[in-house]
Amino acid sequence: MPNEDEDTTMHWLNPSLKRGSEYRDNDDDGNEHKKLNFGGRDNLTQFTPISQTQKPKATHTSSDIGYSDVYKGPCSIWVKHSTPSDKPLNIYHIGKIVTNRYKSIIEIKKDGRSKGLILFQNRQEANASLKDDQFMAHGLCTFIPEFKKTRKGVLKGIPTDLKEAELTQDIICGTKVCQVTRINKKCKVPDKDEIQWIPTTSVLVYFEGDFLPKEISLFHVITKVSPYVKRTTQCLKCFKFAHIAKFCRGKQRCGICGDLQQTKDHECDGITPRCANCQGSHKSTSKDCPIFKKYELINMKMAYENLSYFEAKKLVFNKSSPVLTKEAFPEHSKRT
Ligand SMILES: [Zn+2]
Ligand SMILES: [Zn+2]
Ligand SMILES: [Zn+2]
């Protein structure tokens, strides 16, 4: 079984699923979740599925050596309960374990309810903490999440006859390329209830380490690299964001009027839409919802600044910080 923290961001869709059906997804805690696939236009561009075994791996993984010298640092090490637990993780307990054992700790902070983060100045100390059995003795374990080990970037305008394997070989930049995956477009077959996948001229590149190059060279052509921004997840039970119906702790709502649906045969007049998130006069699935836009910004911050979901959410929802808009990410344009 793959380490649940190995992949926390990527969605691999199954092209055999039809619009409106569900697919499986990993949330930011690394739990495998089901996610609803809306029929909206934006969802027509997805990635071809690859199996777990084909997922790219950095040559150095957290389980063996930790951060290699390709990492710019400072180096963050994550801590969680070694067995799944409903109890929140108390970062003071982590602090107590590491105090007097490490000299280069800058800060210890929460990363969501169930994880903590130790920020080390010194890479060797960070790596040593990965093998420190004192954590295990306290029912905890240390790890580096996938987004710290590989960065994902998108290249546009890459001819479809160039194969993934040759791209992996021939992309030249200061960072090792772990894998390249062609981005396919999901299209409805005219007059049929079928979906077909057509290769686009965009490819997804996995770069080793925590640094995303601004550009690469491919056959002597300098090509811009854009951070890969993942899609915003919305629950089709309660219509809140960043989780899916299978793991929903909320109540079923009507996506049109926002009312709590007590019975399956809720009859919605559909005349006065009300958003379950912002109470605005639009459907809960509207892309114009200001709350939806905030969650989109979270995904952009995660991609551009290489942050965890919790770190990015704190920045977007922190009222004391400057108001963020999409314009803060000029490089990000609509996916092809
Ligand atoms: Zn929900
Ligand atoms: Zn309704
Ligand atoms: Zn809204």
Residue 261's pLDDT is what? 75
Could you read off the pLDDT of 171-186 as tens digits, one per residue?
A: 999 889 999 999 999 8
Q: What are the residue ranges in the chain where pLDDT is below 50? A: 1-63, 335-336
- Quote the crossing angle between the two packed helices 309-317 and 290-305, to the nearest 10°: 130
Could you read off the pLDDT of 267-288 as tens digits, one per residue?
A: 787 778 999 999 999 999 999 9
Spacing, Cα 236 to ligand 3 middle (Å): 14
Spacing, Cα 253 to ligand 1 middle (Å): 9
Spacing, Cα 316 to ligand 1 middle (Å): 20
Residue 50's pLDDT is what? 38
* Token pair for 30: 């690394």
Q: Which residues are CB-neighbours of 29 under 8 A, at least 6 positions away?
A: 8, 112, 114, 115
Q: Are the C-beta atoms of 52 and 26 separated by less than 8 Å? A: no
Spacing, Cα 317 to ligand 2 middle (Å): 28
Spacing, Cα 306 to ligand 1 middle (Å): 26
Spacing, Cα 232 to ligand 2 middle (Å): 23
Q: Which of 44, 38, 50, 39 is nearest to 11 (CA)?
A: 50
